[in-house]
Amino acid sequence: MVELARLWRVADCNESPETTKLKIMKEEWVYVIRSIKKNYTYTGITNNLERRLLEHNKGYNKSTRLYVPFRLLLKEDFPDKKSAREREKFLKSGQGRKFLSQFK
């Protein structure tokens, strides 16, 4: 069952209140993972955080395969991909890396 908190009403001007549609909010996640064995941090975006972390830890991602296993350092949710991408870019910048250093 979809949580009601993740739903919002979209009303068309021509529709009556009885036919108001419910649509699921799209949610994007910015996440930062850190290798447990090596000094490696990865920052990414996904719409399914649980699936993506599993892919990293099973070695399905070519760029992180050599650094398995990982632990989650940070996760932040955003309503759209554009705002998530802006945050990802910040976290990959010098100031963002400095911010992330407090979590290590």
In a domain, 65, yes or no: yes
User: Of 14-18, 83-87, 99-103, which one has max mean pLDDT?
Assistant: 83-87
The DSSP letter of residue 45 is: E
Q: Which domain holds residue 42?
A: 28-103
Q: For residue 20, what pLDDT is reported?
A: 43
The residue among 60, 73, 70 whose CA lies nearest residue 31 is 73
Whole-prediction pTM: 0.74
Query: Whole-angstrom Cα distance, residue 12 to residue 18?
Result: 11
Cα separations in angstroms, 102 against 30, 73, 96, 97, 99: 17, 10, 11, 9, 6
Q: For residue 25, what pLDDT is reported?
A: 58
Domains of the chain: total: 1
In a domain, 76, yes or no: yes
Q: Is the pLDDT of residue 100 over 70?
A: yes
In a domain, 49, yes or no: yes
In a domain, 79, yes or no: yes
Residue 94: pLDDT band (50, 70, 90) is very high
What are the b/e assignments for 70-89, b being 16+ CB within 10 Å? beeeeeeebeeeeebeebbe
Task: Kindly report the backbone phi and psi dihedral angles of residue 23, in degrees, each rounded to the nearest multiple of 5, phi listed first.
Answer: -125, 150
Please write the tens of the pLDDT for every residue from 9-29: 333 344 444 444 444 557 999
In a domain, 8, yes or no: no
In a domain, 74, yes or no: yes
Please write the tens of the pLDDT for every residue from 33-73: 999 999 999 999 999 999 999 999 999 999 999 999 999 99
CATH of the domain at 43: 3.40.1440.10
The residue among 51, 92, 56 whose CA lies nearest residue 71 is 56
